[in-house]
């Protein structure tokens, strides 16, 4: 049976500091590395196996994937980084402390930017060094595809071509697929897979380095698996 695991990266340095991260390339904290190792051990002990892994092009996701695959003794499987799996762009909020933005714009407005489906934070200007057009890893991406800000809806539209063109076909071939990405990227995929409404997606939280397991059933539908119960035991231990 084909399986899919969606895994948010471990805690990053900006997570630790309470900052908006988005497309900024921030590494894992020490705690984040430990979280990634624990997730890898959990999946190995649960006898999960993967044939291929996908990740974003941001180091916090890539390093999480490295650590997980090392723990699982699967560093030899293909690991495919893709910009479409990057976190949603938080625009001009990137790098800012969340409590400071709440003080500036109001907590309710910041909540809408963070949790809503269609709300976009203030945009970056193209001369801002945080704009991805300055980063050589995106030199082959068309300018129209480089975000200056994004809503969750925008991020979902960016991600779905990769899902439909590369990830889903692997599952349909019976492969085990690991996707290591970011909180809002995974929220987008969960919304798509489970058919969650625009309103209810606001309530979905994606914890760091906490595997979400889906299994492909006979009608070729993805259904939520049972790893969550195993995770609860891992956390308590």
Of 9, 71, 150, 182, catalytic: 9
Q: Is residue 215 part of a domain?
A: yes
φ/ψ region of 158 (left if φ > 0, alpha if ψ in -120 to 50, else beta) reads alpha
Over the chain, what is the mean pLDDT? 92
Q: What is the pLDDT of residue 80?
A: 98
Whole-number Å distance between alpha carbons of 65 and 139 = 24
Q: Are strands 3-8 and 176-181 parallel, antiparallel or unpaired?
A: parallel
Exposed e or buried b per residue across 45-80, where buried means at least 16 C-beta atoms within 10 angstroms of its C-beta: ebebebbbbbbbbbbbbbbbbbbbbebbebeeeebe
- Mean pLDDT lowest among 28-37, 178-187, 226-235: 226-235
Residue 201: count other Cβ atoms within 10 Å of its Cβ.
20
pLDDT, mean of residues 186-202 = 93
Asked if residue 145 has pLDDT above 70, the reply is: yes
Predicted confidence (pLDDT) per residue in 154-183, tens digit = 999 999 999 999 999 999 999 999 999 999
Q: Which of 14, 2, 3 is nearest to 182 (CA)?
A: 14
Q: What is the pLDDT of residue 214?
A: 93
- Provide the CATH number for the domain around residue 184: 3.40.50.1240
Q: Is residue 127 part of a domain?
A: no
Q: What is the pLDDT of residue 220?
A: 57
Q: Is residue 123 part of a domain?
A: no
Q: Is residue 205 part of a domain?
A: yes
Q: Is residue 12 part of a domain?
A: yes
pLDDT, mean of residues 133-150 = 97
User: Structure tokens of 11?
Assistant: 């805690």
202 is catalytic: no
Q: How many domains in the chain?
A: 1
Q: What is the pLDDT of residue 217?
A: 77
- Mean pLDDT lowest among 82-86, 161-165, 192-196: 192-196
Give the residue with greater pLDDT, 233 vs 53: 53
- pLDDT band per the 50, 70, 90 thresholds, residue 230: very low
Q: Is residue 216 part of a domain?
A: yes
Predicted confidence (pLDDT) per residue in 93-107, tens digit = 999 999 999 999 999
100 is catalytic: no
Asked if residue 14 has pLDDT above 90, the reply is: yes
Asked if residue 236 has pLDDT above 60, the reply is: no
pLDDT, mean of residues 132-160 = 97
Q: Is residue 133 part of a domain?
A: no
Q: Are strands 52-55 and 212-216 parallel, antiparallel or unpaired?
A: unpaired
Of 35, 71, 87, 150, catalytic: 87
Q: What is the pLDDT of residue 216?
A: 82
Longest dimension (CA), the chain: 51
Question: What Cα–Cα distance (Å) separates residue 23 from each residue in 5, 91, 183?
Answer: 22, 9, 12
Could you list the residue range(s) of the whole structural domain that residue 23 is in?
3-88+160-236
Q: What is the pLDDT of residue 232?
A: 35
Q: Is residue 175 part of a domain?
A: yes
């Amino acid at each position: 049976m084909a399986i899919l695991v969606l895994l948010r990266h471990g805690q990053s340095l900006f997570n630790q500091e309470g900052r908006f991260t988005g497309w900024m390339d921030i590494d894992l904290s020490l705690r984040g590395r430990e979280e990634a190792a624990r997730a890898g051990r959990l999946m190995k002990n649960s006898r999960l196996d993967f044939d291929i892994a996908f990740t974003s092009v941001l180091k916090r996701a890539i390093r999480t994937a490295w650590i997980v695959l090392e723990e699982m003794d699967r560093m030899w499987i293909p690991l495919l980084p893709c910009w479409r799996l990057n976190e949603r762009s938080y625009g001009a909020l990137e790098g800012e402390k969340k409590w400071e933005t709440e003080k500036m714009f109001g907590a309710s407005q910041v909540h809408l930017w963070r949790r809503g489906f269609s709300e976009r934070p203030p945009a970056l200007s193209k001369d801002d060094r945080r704009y991805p057009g300055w980063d050589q890893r995106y030199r082959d991406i068309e300018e129209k595809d480089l975000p200056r800000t994004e809503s969750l809806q925008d991020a979902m539209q960016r991600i779905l071509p990769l899902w439909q063109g590369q990830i889903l076909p692997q599952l349909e071939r019976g492969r085990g697929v690991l996707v290591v990405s970011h909180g809002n990227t995974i929220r987008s995929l969960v919304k798509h897979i489970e058919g969650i409404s625009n309103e209810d997606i606001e309530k979905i939280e994606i914890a760091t380095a906490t595997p979400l397991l889906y299994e492909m059933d006979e009608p070729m539908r993805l259904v939520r698996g049972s790893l969550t119960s195993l995770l609860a035991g891992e956390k308590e231990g």
